Amino acid sequence: MNNPPDFMALWDYQDPAASALRFQQLLAESDNQDLQYELELLTQIARTHSLRRQFAQAHQLLDEIEPRLTDATPRARLRALLERGRTFNSAGDKASARALFEQGWQLGLKLGE
């Protein structure tokens, strides 16, 4: 996608279901040429599940993303770590969340994010 929309500006944290619909629409409209963008959108869809306390769905989507992450998708990898951490945190598993947040922090530093 030549000029992908700023999907972060489309977030409505008070209405994660509506945000999910917007992200799914962006995904359907994408030209599948930008793997990083696609995977980042999917991490945000996973986040909408976490915010709705649909932890199994969030983990399932993150599990589907994981094998598609490559060295060419570092920002998507960072987002996947953060969203997995958020999912564990929201579900009450603070230890698992912390480990993922620390990995995300280190990767973010390395990437300059």
- Contact of 107 with 74, CB cutoff 8 Å: yes
Amino acid identity of 54?
Q
**Distance in angstroms (rounded) separating the CA atoms of residues 28 and 50:** 22
- Look at residue 3 in the predicted model and tell me its pLDDT: 54
- Look at residue 30 in the predicted model and tell me its pLDDT: 79
The C-alpha angle 49, 51, 53, rounded to 5 degrees, equals 70
Q: What pTM was estimated for this model as a whole?
A: 0.90
Series of mean pLDDT values for 10-residue runs along the chain (113 residues): 67 93 89 86 96 98 97 95 97 97 97 92
- Look at residue 2 in the predicted model and tell me its pLDDT: 46
- Contact of 103 with 81, CB cutoff 8 Å: yes
What separation, in Å, do the N-terminal and C-terminal C-alpha atoms of the chain show? Answer: 21
